Amino acid sequence: MVMGMKVELLRYTADPERLIAAAAKSCASKRTTTELLERLSDEKVSEIVRDVVDMGHLSVIEHAYFTFSIDGISRVTTHQLVRHRIASYSQQSQRYVTLDEENFVIPPTIEKKEKAKNLYLEFVRKAKEAYEKLLEMGIPPEDARYVVPQGITTHITVTMNARELLHFFRLRCCYKSQWEIRKLAWKMLKIVREIAPVLFHNAGPSCLSNGRCPEKKFPCPVKKLLERGKKSREEIEDFLENTP
């Protein structure tokens, strides 16, 4: 009935940090980006990328793109995801793909309460039955899908440049973000950090990336964790990824 979230990095700009560093350096150099790609040392690449991000000169990091395959997330979450407009999306269509499987995301708050979970599963079962009966009556899938709950899983291909990813992580890794898209954001961040560790070394919610919380009136347990100073950044990141 329930399937787990799966995130894969399909493609990305080759050697993204070197490209970013060369592009940034070319703005104040007689040498072309092609020449700089070959001449810059690894240490200089890291220095330039770190400076670019820390100073907020982010136009040059737009040259680096990352494409993800995301599966097992609900349409509740994809509706939030596609609000990030500086990105490209290709999502499974319910007009052309009938619901052959009963895969739905169950929110943890519902999962842990037996009565709530039973109510949820009963609703899903009835919705699936209604959907199948509508198809049997000759209703096209694009119209029958109106009875399908938003908790149904889907898959989507997402491409973002590095600048938009930083923006996405700042908003969606935050504790205030809805739990499922927050979990997705942290999975994506962990993946791109493996590819570009300097570029994304400080990525995450505002409280971790720049030490400032824009949600001043929102009661957040992370604020207390940071104030007490008893948790490492890794522990706080794990808390944000896995806490509903």
Instruction: Identify the CATH number of the domain in which residue 227 sits.
Output: 3.30.1360.170
Please tell me the predicted confidence (pLDDT) of residue 103: 87
In three-state secondary structure terms, 114 is helix
Number of domains in the chain: 2
Tell whether 82 and 116 lie within a shared domain: no
**Which pLDDT belongs to residue 216?**
77
One domain for residues 181 and 146:
no
Residue segments in the chain with a per-residue pLDDT below the cut of 50: 1-2
Q: Which residue has the tokens 């570009």?
A: 196
199 three-class SS: coil
Residue 183 counted as domain residue: yes
Q: What single letter denotes the amino acid at residue 168?
A: F
Cα–Cα distance measured from residue 98 to residue 177, given in angstroms and rounded to the nearest whole number: 31
Q: Tell me the one-letter amino acid at 164.
A: E
> Are residues 127 and 84 part of one domain?
no
Same domain, 72 and 161: yes
**Taking the mean position of all CA atoms in its chain, how far away is CA 192?**
11
Q: Are residues 61 and 168 in the same domain?
A: yes
**DSSP assigned state of 16:** H
Choosing from 122, 150, 178, the residue where a domain stops is: 150
- For residues 156 and 81, is the Cβ–Cβ distance under 8 A? yes
Domain co-membership, 81 together with 184? yes
Contact 88, 11 (CB under 8 A): no
Burial class of 92 by CB neighbour count within 10 A (0 to 12, 13 to 18, 19+): middle
Q: Is residue 160 part of a domain?
A: yes
How far is residue 37 from each of residues 16, 45, 196, measured CA to CA in Å?
11, 9, 16
Q: Pairing relation of β-strands 65-74 and 153-161?
A: antiparallel
Same domain? For 142 and 195 the reply is: no
Residues with active-site annotation: 172
Total-model pTM: 0.94
Residue ranges making up the domain that contains 118? 106-150
62 is written with which tokens? 């737009």
- 59 occurs within a structural domain: yes
Is there a single domain that holds both residue 172 and residue 185? yes
- Within 10 angstroms of residue 23's Cβ, the number of other Cβ atoms is 20
Q: Is 230 within the bounds of a domain?
A: yes
- Amino acid at the residue 141: P
Write down the pLDDT at residue 3. Answer: 55
Same domain, yes or no: 31 and 55: yes
Flag whether 98 is in a domain: no
**160 and 146 housed in the same domain:** no
Tell whether 163 and 228 lie within a shared domain: yes
Which one-letter DSSP state was computed for residue 25? H
